[in-house]
Structure 1
């Protein structure tokens, strides 16, 4: 993505020079910033449109069908597994993974910035999820809850944070210079973990499937937006003309 942003900026510089007959080094960055803001606004509008469908009959049928299919597989072994997985997607799980990642970032990669970026992503996901839950105000499913819950239902905080946190880790690992097979296995494991956390919330009876979908979408938006912003900052700092 960093190379793509660099190419876009260089192209904008050439285009601006041709159009305005003079060279402006900072205007391309202003344009990129405006684009980033538009992405935020567009993503928010998309999420709002998706949220408006929560009360439709078709979505209710979707939730019922998926929930019934997942609950049909309830058994003691799966319950123990999904309780463990949902704990991995909670505060202490993220804290442990965050500490381990930061140790690796500092001691192996010598890049403390990755830890800061990961912190920003998860803080944005957590804070925005709290706001969205209060705005939408959707109650939990009237099912047997296999774990205790206190907050509202939509969007799923577990799904949203899992997609943002582990999704951004996938983005980071994709760019790390490590053995391709090891990289593939780590990314595959993280993808499996994201979807397992989402499914666990339905299995445990504390979320509608649409809560999980909404959480995944919102978390993915933060991954894309933060990756764009972080790369833009990196390119801007390296540009000798600014």
Structure 2
């Protein structure tokens, strides 16, 4: 009986994992958006910023600038080109193209979301110069959508003893980038949470699409033999 219930729960999550992956983070994003519009996050944002700003030192700032640059456009484009070349060399066209397409679409979605809310950046001690709007955090969105997709690719294609350490390293990049944006004074904590939630929803949807494409390509390859 217990085994049947466990199997039923597993089948439920397998069947509805896309809806859950989309629904939960989108719900969090919607709640944050309502709170932002009604100016209800000031206390939370202020408390997190004051905690992180108490750690400001030149060395810590250099470390967080390094972390935040892991999601800079130049770095991500460079990594995408290297991975594109790597997968093409391995004759794997699907992941080679999926990485830059994901980066491009992530940027478009986040830019659109920022234009909808038009939230100004924090009026505090900004340790780096940035422009544009604040909500949601583009670095946080791209951190989870880009590095999250790399985790998926590592899980799918990587073999050997470096697989899980690499997945862990990529996973740790995501929260570190988000924290760096608050520490550097260029985003509110609510911006970062919104970026993670919206980016997480996009990641779930994009992996679903990627899996469908992968199955279709494998079926065509199998049928042509």
Q: TM-score range by the shorter chain?
A: 0.7 to 0.9
Distance 2:56 2:164 in 1: 31
Structure 1 62/38 Cα, relative in aligned 2: closer, same or farther at 3 Å? closer
Aligned to 1:79: 61
CA contact (8 A) 2:145 2:199 kept: yes
Matched, 1:139 2:115: no
Q: CA RMSD in A?
A: 2.8
- TM-score after normalising by structure 2: 0.82
Aligned to 2:177: 197
Match of 1:82, SS state, is helix
Decide which of 58, 63, 66 is 2:48's aligned counterpart.
Answer: 66
Of stretches 46-55 and 214-223 in structure 1, the one that deviates more from structure 2 is 46-55
Q: How many residues align?
A: 208
Q: How far does residue 217 in structure 1 lie from its aligned partner after superposition? A: 1.0
Structure 1: gaps of 5 or more residues? 1-7, 13-31
C-alpha deviations, 1:206-228, integer Å up to 9, x for none?
00011111111111111110111
- TM-score after normalising by structure 1: 0.76
Structure 2: gaps of 5 or more residues? 1-10
Aligned to 1:184: 164
Aligned to 1:3: none
CA contact (8 A) 1:121 1:222 kept: no
Distance 1:39 1:194 in 2: 17
Q: How far does residue 83 in structure 1 lie from its aligned partner after superposition? A: 1.4
Q: How far does residue 77 in structure 1 lie from its aligned partner after superposition? A: 0.4
Matched, 1:116 2:97: yes
What are the residue-to-residue correspondences of 1:1-242 with 2, within 5 Å? 47-55=29-37, 59-107=41-89, 109-179=90-160, 181-237=161-217, 238=219
Bigger radius of gyration, 1 or 2? 1
